[in-house]
């Protein structure tokens, strides 16, 4: 028989405060428990797992609650393919881009890089995110030609990372939680990749500029 617990134990097991659990119940991102009275309910492992997912998305992925609501709604509905759900997740976690933050030269550059990689974007909002960020860099006086080379290197690195992501998802195809695991890594993988990049930058900087410390 599955173990059921009251909210205090649910909070202890998930690491989520009771006040937050009540908020998630009101917002519909956490399914209701099994009612035992008008003011009491029991919760199970599915609730612990969902709260851990929400906590990871909030604390590590810095995902807004509104986006989490969209994500868990898709997980609960299970109406699309894994590919379609991951696409929805990318839409949900990518903030709207200010249309003024665009440079035509940069847009052309980004589209060329995407074409060179053979990527199928299907109006991926991340494309506009890249354009907006790079446009701001150019606005500050950056040389577009210089950043094209850098962007091309980033794209090659992104292809390697994405292939590893998809290979990992493919290995879990028989898992009952494949979609949830894929969604989790789609969001948290960004944080992991960013952290590894910073470590690599520190290492590269130390090797390149070490001689300055010796002078």
Q: Over the Cα atoms of the chain, what is R_g?
A: 22
Q: Which residues contact 14 (CB under 8 A, 6 or more apart)?
A: 21, 47, 48, 51, 52, 55
- Partnered with residue 43 across adjacent β-strands are 5
pLDDT in tens, the chain (215 residues): 678 999 999 999 999 999 999 999 999 999 999 999 988 999 999 999 999 999 988 988 888 999 999 888 888 877 777 778 888 888 888 877 776 767 888 999 999 999 999 998 767 888 989 999 999 888 888 788 889 999 999 999 999 999 998 888 777 666 567 777 878 888 888 899 999 999 999 999 998 887 665 55
pLDDT of residue 125: 86
Q: For the chain, count helices (H), then strands (E).
A: 9, 2
d(CA 78, CA 59): 25
pLDDT of residue 13: 95
d(CA 9, CA 41): 12
pLDDT of residue 80: 73
User: Checking DSSP bridges between strand 40-42 and strand 34-37, what pairing results, if any?
Assistant: antiparallel
What b/e sequence results for 169-207 when a residue is b if at least 16 CB atoms lie within 10 Å of its CB, and e otherwise?
A: beeeeeeeeebbbbbbbbbebeeeeeeeeeeeeeeeeee
pLDDT of residue 130: 92
The 10 Å Cβ neighbour count of residue 24 is: 23
d(CA 205, CA 188): 26
Structural domains of the chain sorted by starting position, each given as residue range(s) with its CATH number in brackets: 7-77 (1.10.1660.10), 98-214 (no CATH)
Spatial contact of 77 and 71, defined as CB atoms under 8 Å apart? no
DSSP state of 123: S
């Amino acid at each position: 028989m599955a173990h059921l617990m009251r909210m205090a134990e649910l909070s202890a097991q998930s690491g989520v405060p009771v006040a937050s659990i009540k908020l998630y119940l009101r917002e519909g991102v956490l399914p209701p428990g099994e009612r035992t009275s008008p003011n009491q309910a029991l919760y199970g492992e599915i609730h612990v797992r969902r709260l851990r997912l929400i906590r990871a998305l909030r604390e590590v992925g810095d995902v807004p609650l509104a986006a989490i609501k969209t994500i868990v709604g898709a997980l609960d509905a299970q109406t699309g393919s894994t590919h379609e759900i991951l696409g929805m997740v990318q839409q949900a976690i990518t903030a709207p881009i200010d249309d003024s933050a665009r440079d035509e030269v940069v847009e052309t550059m980004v589209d060329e890089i995407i074409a060179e990689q053979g990527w199928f974007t299907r109006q991926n909002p991340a494309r506009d995110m890249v354009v907006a960020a790079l446009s701001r860099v150019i606005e500050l006086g950056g040389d577009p030609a210089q950043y094209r080379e850098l962007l091309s290197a980033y794209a090659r690195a992104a292809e390697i990372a994405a292939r590893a992501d998809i290979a990992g998802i493919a290995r879990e195809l028989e898992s009952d939680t494949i979609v949830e695991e894929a969604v989790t890594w789609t969001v948290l993988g960004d944080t992991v990749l960013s952290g590894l990049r910073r470590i690599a930058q520190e290492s590269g900087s130390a090797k390149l500029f070490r001689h300055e410390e010796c002078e």
